[in-house]
Structure 1
């Protein structure tokens, strides 16, 4: 286990170059396009790029499986009332590890491979991705702290083609 600079030297070096040509100091923190995107933490997903957005256009909320958890709802309340969000896109993706197992499977794997008991955690795995997405959309639409005027949509991102596949409710 190295020091911060040893372990993250590649990132710090890249940041030096980034900072030299940084052009976003004028952004306010509000979602310029009135959009929040809930998506997965999968590194194959470039939410700004695939949606034709730029820095400052949208709030991006990422977690394993693109699930609408309590923390996502809390963040959406802040985004709507404080940061200009008027519409939400929930965007899971194909070939998602969270759609290939159950919570029980993940608990067993981590216990067996690493000796860590994770049974107190909910991983929100998605054995039926379509049903989970529809449930999450309903969860946002019916959340009492979010306004009825909030536009909510869902689409699955195909990590192999780059295509976005909207779902109808």
Structure 2
């Protein structure tokens, strides 16, 4: 069976968290941390993103084999491993750079995104505020932000913020893991 590689670009707070989640998902070939959705000229830096002034979100770009996992399944995992009901915030991380966002690559991904959010809404008490927008330019983050959890598992943020998200992933989506 040949591979049907597709892209998904998602922001669910700190990209270290979402990267760690999707690195464990069957059918995911590659996860790159980066930035998208801003309006500042040129390639943004992590420091600029953290200022909240560029308008960019911390995102991950997932390359996945659609013969193994669907875009819909990617979105269900995404929507259930972060809080899509908090505007510009995930836990203690606050600012537009931490917004919940799906950047779609084509009209089919937009339709699937709209449908998944509609199907998932009844599971949340608060309104889902996840932005759905066309993919603008994606900028790859600096090397020290790639594979962050895997290379820093003993770091405090990894232990207290990322590890619980991975536990949730393993509990809710065990059938989708590598």
Which band: TM-score by shorter chain?
A: 0.3 to 0.5
TM-score in terms of structure 1 length = 0.33
TM-score in terms of structure 2 length = 0.32
Which has a greater percent of strand? 2
- Of structures 1 and 2, the one scoring higher in RCO (CA 8 A, sep 6+) is 2
Larger Rg: 1
